[in-house]
Amino acid sequence: MNFVFRTIITGCSFFLFYTISAQSILDEQVEKRLKTLTLEEKVGQMSQIDLGVLAVGKICEVADPIRLDTAKLRLAFQRYKVGSVLNCGCGFHALSRKRWLELIDSIQEANTRYTAHGIPVMYGIDAIHGANYTLGSTLFPQQIGQAATWNPDLVKAAARITAYETRASGIPWNFSPVLDIGRQPLWSRFFETYGEDVCLAKKMTNACISGYQGNNFGNEQVAACMKHFLGYSYPFSGKDRTPVWIGERELRAYFLPTFQEAIRLKAKTLMINSGELNGVPVHASYPILTTLLRDELGFEGVAVTDWEDVYKLHTTHKVAETLRDAVKMAVMAGIDMSMTPNDFQFNELLLDLVNSGEIPESRLDMSVRRILKLKMDLGLDNMANSKMQAGYPLFGSDSFARVAYNAVGESITLLKNEGDVLPLSPGTKVWVMGNATNSLNYLNGAWSQTWLGQDARFNEPNKMTILQALQAGYGKENVLEVTPQFARKAKRFPGAVLYCLGETPATEIPGNIDDLAITIPEEDRKALESLKARKVPVILVLLLGRPRIITDLDKLSRAVVHAYIPGQEGAKPLADLLYGKINPSGRLPFTYPRSSGDIVHYDHKRTEDNDINFGSSGYNPLYDFGHGLSYTRFDYWGMSVKPVNDTFVIQVLVRNTGSIEGKEVVQVYYRDEYAPVTPAQKKLCAFAKINLKPGQDAAVNLKVPFSDVGDIGADMKPFKASGTIVFRAGHQTVTLNHKP
What is the pLDDT, as a whole number, of residue 20? 58
Structural domains in the chain?
Answer: 125-388 (3.20.20.300), 408-609 (3.40.50.1700), 634-738 (2.60.40.10)
Rg (CA), the chain: 26
pLDDT digits 0-9 by tens, 689-739: 999 999 999 999 999 999 999 999 999 999 999 999 999 999 999 999 999
443 touches 465 (CB < 8 A) = yes
Question: Mind listing the pLDDT tens digit for each residue in 61-116?
Answer: 999 999 999 999 999 999 999 999 999 888 789 999 999 999 999 999 999 999 99
**Which position among 126, 306, 381, 603 bears the catalytic label?**
306
- Please give the pLDDT value at position 59: 87
- Cβ atoms of residues 707 and 661 within 8 Å: no
Flag whether pLDDT at 410 surpasses 80.
yes
Cβ contact 346:340 at 8 Å = yes
Q: Which residues of 273-299 are buried (b: 16+ CB within 10 A; e: fewer)?
A: bbbbbeeebbbbbeebbeebbeeebeb
Q: Determine the average pLDDT of the residues in 172-177.
A: 98
pLDDT in tens, 262-305: 999 999 999 999 999 999 999 999 999 999 999 999 999 999 99
What's this model's pTM, rounded to 2 decimal places?
0.95
Whole-number pLDDT of residue 201? 98
Give the mean pLDDT of 563-577: 98
Q: In angstroms, rounded to a whole number, what is the distance separating the alpha carbons of residues 277 and 317? A: 11
Instruction: Tell me the backbone φ, ψ of residue 141, rounded to 5 degrees.
Output: -60, 150
Q: Is 455 a catalytic residue?
A: no
Interstrand relation of 683-692 and 122-125 (parallel, antiparallel or unpaired): unpaired
H-type alpha helices, 334-451: 345-355, 361-377, 398-411, 440-444
Q: What share of the chain is helix, strand, coil (3-state, %, to 5)?
A: 35, 20, 45
Q: Compute the average pLDDT of residues 201-216.
A: 94
Query: How many Cα atoms within 13 Å fall on the side-chain side of residue 196?
Result: 24
Residue 590 pLDDT greater than 70, yes or no? yes
Q: Is the pLDDT of residue 31 over 80?
A: yes
d(CA 507, CA 671): 36
Nearest-angstrom CA–CA distance, 654 and 472? 37
How, if at all, do strands 413-417 and 559-562 pair?
antiparallel
Among the listed residues 273, 331, 332, 270, the one whose alpha carbon sits nearest the alpha carbon of residue 298: 270
Task: Judge whether 114 and 148 are in contact, CB under 8 Å.
Answer: no
The reported pLDDT for the residue numbered 21 is 65
Residue type, 545: G
The pLDDT of residue 149? 98
Q: Which residues of 307-325 are buried (b: 16+ CB within 10 A; e: fewer)?
A: bbbbbbbbeebebbeebbb
Q: What is the pLDDT of residue 216?
A: 72
Query: What's the rounded mean pLDDT across residues 582-600?
Result: 96
The mean predicted confidence, pLDDT, of the chain is 94
- Could you read off the pLDDT of 136-168 as tens digits, one per residue? 999 999 999 999 999 999 999 999 999 999 999
3-state class of 308 per DSSP? Answer: coil
CA-nearest of 195, 189, 270, 257 to 226 is 270
d(CA 507, CA 448): 11
pLDDT attached to residue 389: 52
Write out the H or E segment, with its range, that includes residue 97. Answer: helix 97-114
* Closest by CA position to 259, among listed 267, 29, 740: 267
**Residues 296-343 pLDDT 10s:** 999 999 999 999 999 999 999 999 999 999 999 999 999 999 999 999
Q: Half-sphere exposure of residue 184, counting CA atoms within 13 Å on the CB side?
A: 26
Does the pLDDT value for residue 2 go beyond 60?
no
125: which residues sit within 8 A by CB, 6+ positions away?
86, 87, 88, 133, 166, 169, 171, 173, 174, 175
Kindly state the average pLDDT of the residues 642-666.
97
- The angle, 0 to 180 degrees and rounded to 10, between the axes of the packed helices 198-213 and 257-264 is 30
Query: What is the pLDDT confidence band of residue 390, given thresholds at 50, 70 and 90?
Result: low
Burial of 216 (0-12, 13-18, 19+ CB in 10 A): exposed
In this prediction, residue 89 carries a pLDDT of: 83
How far apart CA 298 and CA 361 sit, in angstroms, is 23
Name the percent of the chain lying above pLDDT 90.
90
Partnered with residue 688 across adjacent β-strands are: 666
The answer, yes or no, to whether residue 134 has pLDDT greater than 80, is yes
| Model pLDDT, residue 4 | 33
What pLDDT is recorded for position 627? 98
Nearest to 540 by CA among 557, 523, 528, 525: 557
Average pLDDT value for residue range 460-478 = 96
* Interatomic CA distance for residues 22 and 227, integer angstroms: 29
Query: Which pLDDT value is given to residue 385?
Result: 53
Reported confidence tier of residue 14, pLDDT bands at 50, 70, 90? very low
Residue of 583, 540, 580 whose CA lies nearest to 563: 540
Res 217 pLDDT > 90: no
Give the rounded percent of residues in the chain with a pLDDT score beyond 70. Answer: 96
Per-residue pLDDT at 34 exceeds 50: yes
pLDDT at res. 313: 98
Q: Where are the beta strands (DSSP E) in 164-323?
A: 173-174, 225-229, 269-272, 276-277, 280-281, 302-304
The residues with which 114 forms a beta bridge, in sequence order, are none
pLDDT of residue 22: 64
For residues 414 and 562, give the distance between their C-alpha atoms in angstroms, rounded to a whole number.
Answer: 6
| pLDDT at 16 > cutoff 60 | no
Give 241: exposed, middle or buried? Use CB within 10 Å, 0-12, 13-18, 19+: buried
Check: CB of residue 39 under 8 Å from CB of residue 354: yes
Which amino acid is present at 571? A
Report the alpha-carbon distance of residue 254 to residue 26 in Å, rounded: 36
Q: What is the DSSP secondary structure assignment for residue 465, as one 8-state letter?
A: -
